[in-house]
């Protein structure tokens, strides 16, 4: 069985605070529950991560940045929820940052499991707007670079590649990777969206607003194999943002729910055909349907890859 990582504390519930941002912070639980309801997993099948420590975070973040997170005003800006500046730092650490540190642990665990089993999915993480010394767009900690660096430092990953198909540019991940020659990012994003300043990347694919599903899938089909065959990474971290869905309020792509699920399956299949381990993280998705779209994508992947087969017949 493909390892699926989840912890009930992924879900951010801070006295209604979570409803002030379009992000559905309970979507992790909804996906977990739906995987059980659909008969894909039982309650005890999910792996539980441990939260990352400050020492872990210092592999990627500056001490100055981590210290700044004790100021509610700094967090209010990163989380895009102004009322946060009025809340005590201890409460924010407990109810907002704690769940995020747990999800960072989930991304590291997903990468470890991927190296062992070929494929693993973290039902959280993907905070791709966080860099070493700054955060933004609801992203505080750079979980993807942290996971890559952890395994690189252990000598288990020589070359890491991120495939970021969230609708927004992964500017945080890209910023960290600029000083790491062993890490590469392939990033298909909507040109006119947040962030205004785009970071330089190895494989940037900026596309115009309104791109439809067939065109989008064709770009993935054409460009991703070339990038993978050029870089030949030992680990692929797939940032599977669902905000490319046509109903997403924060982006302008026009993919149907089925096309988003098809995208997820194609990415994983293209990588597994090359024997590249894949760790998938969820990242953005702001419609009320986001949890269902992620679940459909994961269902397609589990249906094809569960059962000990590294490549199933297509």
Interface residue with Zn ion among 243, 259, 262, 289 (CB under 5 A) is: 243
- Binding segment (CB under 5 A) for Zn ion, from list 20-28, 184-192, 231-239, 281-289: 281-289
Binding-site member from 72, 126, 213, 241 for Zn ion (CB under 5 A): 241
Dist CA 109 CA 7 (whole Å): 12
Task: Rule CB under 5 A: say whether 143 interacts with Zn ion.
Answer: no
Closest CB to Zn ion among residues 244, 268: 244
Q: How many other β-carbons are positioned within 10 Å of the β-carbon of residue 198?
A: 17
Shortest Cβ distance from residue 137 to Zn ion (Å)?
A: 7
179 CB contacts (<8 Å, ≥6 apart)?
Answer: none
Beta bridge pairs of residue 5? 47, 122
| Between 56 and 243, CB nearer to Zn ion | 243
Residue 129 annotated in active site: yes
Which CB sits closer to Zn ion, 72 or 170?
170
Stretch that binds Zn ion, among 11-19, 45-53, 92-100, 238-246 (CB under 5 A): 238-246
Distance in angstroms (rounded) separating the CA atoms of residues 87 and 93: 10
Using CB under 5 A as the binding rule, the residues of this chain from 151 to 210 that contact Zn ion are 166-168
By CB under 5 A, residue 284 contacts Zn ion? yes
Burial class (CB in 10 A: 0-12, 13-18, 19+), 95: middle
By beta-carbon proximity to Zn ion, the closer residue of 243 and 259 is: 243
How buried is 265 (Cβ within 10 angstroms: 0-12 exposed, 13-18 middle, 19+ buried)?
buried
Residues identified as active-site: 129
Residues in contact with Zn ion by the rule CB under 5 A: 166-168, 241, 243, 284
């Amino acid at each position: 069985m493909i390892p699926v990582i989840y912890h009930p504390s992924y879900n951010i519930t801070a006295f209604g605070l979570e409803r002030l941002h379009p992000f559905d912070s309970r979507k992790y639980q909804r996906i977990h529950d739906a995987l059980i309801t659909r008969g894909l997993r039982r309650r005890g099948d999910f792996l539980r991560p441990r939260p990352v420590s400050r020492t872990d975070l210092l592999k990627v973040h500056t001490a100055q940045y981590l210290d700044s997170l004790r100021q509610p005003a700094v967090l209010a800006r990163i989380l895009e929820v102004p009322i946060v500046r009025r809340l005590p730092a201890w409460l924010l650490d407990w109810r907002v940052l704690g769940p995020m540190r747990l999800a960072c642990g989930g991304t590291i665990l997903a990468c470890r499991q991927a190296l062992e089993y070929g494929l693993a999915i973290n039902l959280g993480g993907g905070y791709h707007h966080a860099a070493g010394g700054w955060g933004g767009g609801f992203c505080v900690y750079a979980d993807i670079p942290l996971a890559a660096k952890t395994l690189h430092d252990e000598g288990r990953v020589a070359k890491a590649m991120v495939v970021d198909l969230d609708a927004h540019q992964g500017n945080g991940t890209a910023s960290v990777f600029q000083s790491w020659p062993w890490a590469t990012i392939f990033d298909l994003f909507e040109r006119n969206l947040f962030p205004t300043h785009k970071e330089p990347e190895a494989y940037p694919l900026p596309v115009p607003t309104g791109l439809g599903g067939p065109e989008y899938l064709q770009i993935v089909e054409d460009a991703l194999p070339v990038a993978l065959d050029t870089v030949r990474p030992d680990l692929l971290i797939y940032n599977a943002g669902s905000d490319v869905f046509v109903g997403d309020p924060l982006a302008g792509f026009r993919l149907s729910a089925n096309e988003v699920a098809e995208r997820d399956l194609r990415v994983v299949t293209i990588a597994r055909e090359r024997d590249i381990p894949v760790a998938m993280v969820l990242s953005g998705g702001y419609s009320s349907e986001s949890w269902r779209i992620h679940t459909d994508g994961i269902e397609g992947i589990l249906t094809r890859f569960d059962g000990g087969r590294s490549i199933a017949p297509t």
